[in-house]
Amino acid sequence: MLGNLKELYCLLTGQQRRQLLSLQVLVVLMAFAEVAGVVAIGPFMAMVGDISRLQGDGLLAQAYLLSGASSPNQFLFWCGIAVLGILALAAAVSMYTVWRLSLYGHQLGAELSIRLYNHYMRQPWLFHSAGSSADLTNKIVQECNRITDALISPLMQMNAKIGVALCMILVIVLLNPLVALVGVCLFLGAYLLLYRTVRQRLDDHGDTISATQQLRFKLMAEGFGGIKDVLLTDRQPVFINRFESASRRYGRAKGLTKALSQAPRYAMELVAYGAVILLVLYLLASHHGQLGTILPLLSVYALAGFKLLPALQQIYASVSIMRGNLAAFDALRMDLYASREEETAPPTLDTGPRPTLVPRQAVELCHVTFRYRPESAPALHDVSLRIPAHKVIGLVGASGSGKSTAIDLLLGLITPEQGELRVDGEPLAGPRRRAWQNSLGFVPQAIFLADASIRENIAFGLPPEQIDEARVRRAARMAHLDELLIHLPDGLETRVGERGIQLSGGQRQRIGIARALYDDAEVLILDEATSALDGITEKLVMDAIHDFSGKKTIIMIAHRLATVRQCDAIYMMEAGRIVDHGTYDELVERNSTFQRMARHS
């Protein structure tokens, strides 16, 4: 466990480590303050037990003389006030330290989740297409919370309590080394024995919490995301049963981890009562039954015990909670390492002109081979295609033939294993890739609608105050959204997405097309962008897109050949290869597969 905590410490930024070290100073201060409070009560109780101590030449008597108090009772009163003052100061220091520790722990947890969100948001498309968003959400929300609540916070509390416990033990050692030795052996031995007994169980429960939590997130994402299929196939019981079983195991593992950290307290209290009885008997025997001399000692022991026992309990509880949640750190370890080098400050959105790379001659895929996994067959095999600037190019082929993969390569979202993407003869790399992507307008097969207004969905990702109204209206008009907007009382302000109105597939696609047109991109890439539109609307939208012919470079995938009929050239794909290309008429004339596709479209 110590190795894991050390690793977590190494993963902190320089500033976070410095803050942690400065907090250690406060922790030591808190421990001293608490000890001072305990030690101060000893002499006070000595005077209460035997006021005659203020006579003679002892330390207390000298203090009484120096104070100038008019009577022993007045001196006692002011001593009481002083002890209260010290206790109040100790309480204030403790409160401040606990406050800072708590803030630090939770801010650190928040920063870890920012770091992970930042890291995942910067991952390439392949990372996201291969993974699950539910898993990422779980890591950012739940596992980060576990690291905050069940690793960092207990660690902070444990640090503070170790300081207090050590000082208290020191006080007892100074008073009576034998009592200290017996007490420390008794309690430390008991807690160590307990910890060794429950350690393996805590590990197992930690793993169960991680696994069931991940499963719960997955079931929620799948259940709600595919609710239509679930309702139709009457599979709710399958989802509910799996969720119920995962939740029950999760609740049990969490409960047991907490119980294992808290419940032993009562057994330890029993040990403590036994120890107090033993101590009283021992003190009575060693001081020949004189209660007056025992009382001050006993009050210091009592107060030290009063601080020490909860401190020991807190240390044990912290250690067991941390042990039971180390799995959260295991789940995030690799991602935290990977995100260490990245900038964590939120990048500012550059509203100035962005560099663009507008093709003047052609965009080309040159002998491109690509596979999704090293062991899988190539999704694209030695593909070469040329898209002359300001022309409209269609890409057709059977499902799974590699059209979307080719589009992802053209978008610069994935990089070829062999061959290259060239714009005007120059390979696309480094800053040219960003500039190229700035010049693209893309309409995917499935349009993601944010839970926001139609306006915000068209200017997707921009803060509302930066949205250009005129551009939104122009894009909406070109995508033939007007006929939808006039039926909506709130027009562009109408909320869509999860909590908004439900749109048809075609209406969603038109929002997607308007989104691609918002930036007035020089290159438009449409992946089955009009598949859900009715014939008439599709024709209107395609006419609007073909109006750009000669002005913009347009690449479109379509299953319906009518959609690509007007294209300047059509590339046909089959099993990851380009098998033919030409105009619609040429292909209909010579290619039998194309003829079949034309007959069935």
Q: Please tell me the total number of residues recorded for the chain in this structure.
A: 601
What is d(CA 44, CA 64) in angstroms, rounded to the nearest whole number?
Answer: 12
Q: How far is the CB of 560 from ligand ATP (least distance, A)?
A: 12
Q: How far is the CB of 405 from ligand ATP (least distance, A)?
A: 3
Residue number with CB closer to ligand ATP (445 or 549):
445
**Does 109 interact with ligand ATP (rule: CB under 6 A)?**
no
Please answer whether residues 598 and 394 qualify as being in contact, where contact means their C-beta atoms are separated by less than 8 angstroms: no
Q: What is the CA radius of gyration of the chain?
A: 36
With contacts defined by CB under 6 A, name the span among 75-83, 107-115, 395-403, 462-470 that binds ligand ATP.
395-403
- CA angle, 570 then 574 then 579, to 5°: 55
Please answer whether residues 396 and 559 qualify as being in contact, where contact means their C-beta atoms are separated by less than 8 angstroms: yes
Q: How far is the CB of 30 from ligand ATP (least distance, A)?
A: 54
Structure tokens at 460: 């997707």
Nearest by Cα to 479 from 442, 516, 438? 516
Identify any residues that bridge with 194 across adjacent strands, giving them in sequence order.
Answer: none
Q: Binding residue for ligand ATP (CB under 6 A) from 402, 419, 444, 497?
A: 402
Residue number with CB closer to ligand ATP (314 or 405):
405
**Does 382 interact with ligand ATP (rule: CB under 6 A)?**
no
Residue number with CB closer to ligand ATP (374 or 430):
374
Residue number with CB closer to ligand ATP (379 or 481):
379
Q: Binding residue for ligand ATP (CB under 6 A) from 70, 351, 399, 592?
A: 399
Give the CA-trace dihedral at 86, 90, 93, 95, to 10 degrees.
-130
With contacts defined by CB under 6 A, name the span among 306-314, 394-402, 433-441, 464-472 that binds ligand ATP.
394-402
**Does 405 interact with ligand ATP (rule: CB under 6 A)?**
yes
Residue number with CB closer to ligand ATP (152 or 564):
564
**Does 403 interact with ligand ATP (rule: CB under 6 A)?**
yes
In the bound state, the residue with its beta carbon closest to ligand ATP is 404
What is d(CA 398, CA 575) in angstroms, rounded to the nearest whole number?
Answer: 8
Neighbours of 430 (CB within 10 A): 8
Please answer whether residues 539 and 563 qualify as being in contact, where contact means their C-beta atoms are separated by less than 8 angstroms: no
**Does 400 interact with ligand ATP (rule: CB under 6 A)?**
yes
Backbone phi, then psi, for 310, in 5-degree steps?
-60, -35
Residue number with CB closer to ligand ATP (34 or 528):
528
Structure tokens at 523: 């290159």
With contacts defined by CB under 6 A, name the span among 3-11, 143-151, 401-409, 451-459 that binds ligand ATP.
401-409
Neighbours of 118 (CB within 10 A): 16
Contacts with ligand ATP by CB under 6 A: the residue count is 12
**Does 397 interact with ligand ATP (rule: CB under 6 A)?**
yes
Q: Binding residue for ligand ATP (CB under 6 A) from 55, 73, 129, 197?
A: 129
Neighbours of 257 (CB within 10 A): 24
Question: Which of the residues 274 through 333 are near ligand ATP (CB under 6 A)?
Answer: none
Q: Binding residue for ligand ATP (CB under 6 A) from 257, 401, 553, 591?
A: 401
What is d(CA 150, CA 320) in angstroms, rounded to the nearest whole number?
Answer: 9
**Does 404 interact with ligand ATP (rule: CB under 6 A)?**
yes
Q: How far is the CB of 440 from ligand ATP (least distance, A)?
A: 18
Please answer whether residues 134 and 217 qualify as being in contact, where contact means their C-beta atoms are separated by less than 8 angstroms: yes
Q: Give Cβ neighbours of residue 460 (< 8 Å, ≥ 6 apart).
A: 450, 515, 518
**Does 372 interact with ligand ATP (rule: CB under 6 A)?**
yes
Per CB under 6 A, residues contacting ligand ATP are 129-130, 372, 379, 397, 399-405
